[in-house]
Amino acid sequence: METQTAAGLTVTEAAAAKLAEVLAQLEKPRAAVRVYAQGHGHHAQYGMTVDEHALDGDVVLQAGAVTIRVDPISWTQLEGATIDWAATAQGEGFVIQPARAHEGCGCGGGCGCNH
């Protein structure tokens, strides 16, 4: 599986193709994808949404034909992350795997995060 690294964010070929397909289906081929984080460490939740307006301070990346925007606060958790498109027996969808998901949580592994 080929990947594209866009200045600190890795987007697999499958994810980039699916993102472009989604934007085309929504008839918004020039819109961007906003990737965000809510929370911190292993309690963080990650998501994406279609975004038509850049905000001051956004980190703007290009993955193939898709523009990705990340707000500066989310970027502190998403830098180094990988975005993939996965199909499993449970379904299919985007998977955001942060590079530092367990960094600094302070649980000592007690929460089951295996650090």
88 in a domain, yes or no? yes
Domain that holds residue 74: 3-97
56 in a domain, yes or no? yes
* CA–CA gap between residue 47 and residue 53 (Å, rounded): 17
For residue 13, what is the domain's CATH number?
2.60.300.12
The count of structural domains within the chain is 1
| pLDDT over threshold 80, residue 74 | yes
40 in a domain, yes or no? yes
* CA–CA gap between residue 104 and residue 91 (Å, rounded): 31
pTM (whole model) above 0.85: no
Q: Which residue has the tokens 């180094």?
A: 80
Residue range 57-80: mean pLDDT, rounded? 91
CA contacts within 13 A on the Cβ side of 21: 8
32 in a domain, yes or no? yes
| pLDDT over threshold 90, residue 102 | no
Of 28 and 71, more confident: 71
| 13-64 tens-digit pLDDT | 999 999 999 999 999 877 999 999 998 767 789 999 999 988 999 999 988 8
